[in-house]
């Protein structure tokens, strides 16, 4: 018995992580992912090879997130920060380990640009060339931004560790 599953489903978790990193809201990220899947099911000019499909799928998610943020800024400028602020309570129970909470807290302290590039590379394991296509940058810029994002992430994790040490005293 064969299963008829959509090939893009294999990137669901990575797509959700990308949308969460941009929008900082689990519910909005899930909505964006549904939109992306709808677009893949109804699209007429989809890439044919899997690598190009993967890049295209993440690009659709990113663009939908940016559109969503623009819409929110236009109509709810003052409330948007509260609407998109992710709390630890919204994380799935599986993600409740202390380390994962620290990583999530540290990610939330980064700029959206830094979160986005880290998620594309370290969570979704896209190549520099693929990230360059998704973000519409050259590969050198991707590498330097990724380096700066990792340094910022490291600093945030060290700050959380210092804060934790002070609380435990």
Please report the pLDDT score of residue 143 as a whole number.
93
Q: Are 7 and 56 in contact (CB under 8 A)?
A: no
Q: What is the pLDDT along the chain (169 residues), one digit of tens a residue?
A: 445 556 777 888 899 999 998 888 888 899 889 888 888 778 777 788 888 888 988 998 998 888 888 877 765 544 434 444 444 445 555 445 677 777 888 888 899 899 999 999 988 889 999 999 999 999 999 999 999 999 999 999 888 888 877 666 6
Indicate the helix (H) or strand (E) that contains 146. helix 139-168
Q: How far is the CA of 51 from the CAs of 11, 66, 81, in angstroms?
A: 12, 23, 35
Please report the pLDDT score of residue 76 as a whole number.
52
The 10 Å Cβ neighbour count of residue 23 is 24
What is the pTM assigned to this prediction?
0.60
Please report the pLDDT score of residue 1 as a whole number.
43
Domains of the chain, each with CATH number or no CATH: 7-168 (1.20.140.160)
- 118, HSE (Cβ side, Cα atoms, 13 Å): 23
Please report the pLDDT score of residue 70 as a whole number.
80
């Amino acid at each position: 018995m064969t299963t008829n599953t959509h090939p893009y489903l294999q990137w669901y978790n990575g797509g959700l992580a990308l949308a969460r990193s941009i929008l900082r809201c689990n519910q909005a990220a899930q909505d964006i992912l549904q939109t992306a899947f709808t677009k893949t099911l109804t699209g007429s000019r989809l890439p044919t090879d899997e690598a190009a499909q993967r890049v295209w799928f993440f690009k659709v998610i990113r663009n939908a997130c940016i559109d969503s943020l623009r819409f929110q800024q236009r109509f709810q400028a003052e409330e948007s920060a509260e609407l998109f602020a992710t709390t630890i309570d919204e994380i799935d129970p599986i993600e409740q380990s202390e380390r994962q909470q620290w990583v999530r807290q540290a990610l939330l302290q980064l700029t959206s640009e830094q979160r986005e590039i880290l998620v594309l590379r370290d969570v979704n394991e896209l190549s520099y060339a693929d990230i360059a296509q998704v973000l519409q940058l050259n590969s050198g810029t991707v590498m330097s931004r990724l380096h700066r994002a990792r340094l910022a992430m490291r600093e945030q994790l060290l700050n959380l560790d210092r804060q934790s040490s002070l609380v435990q005293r």
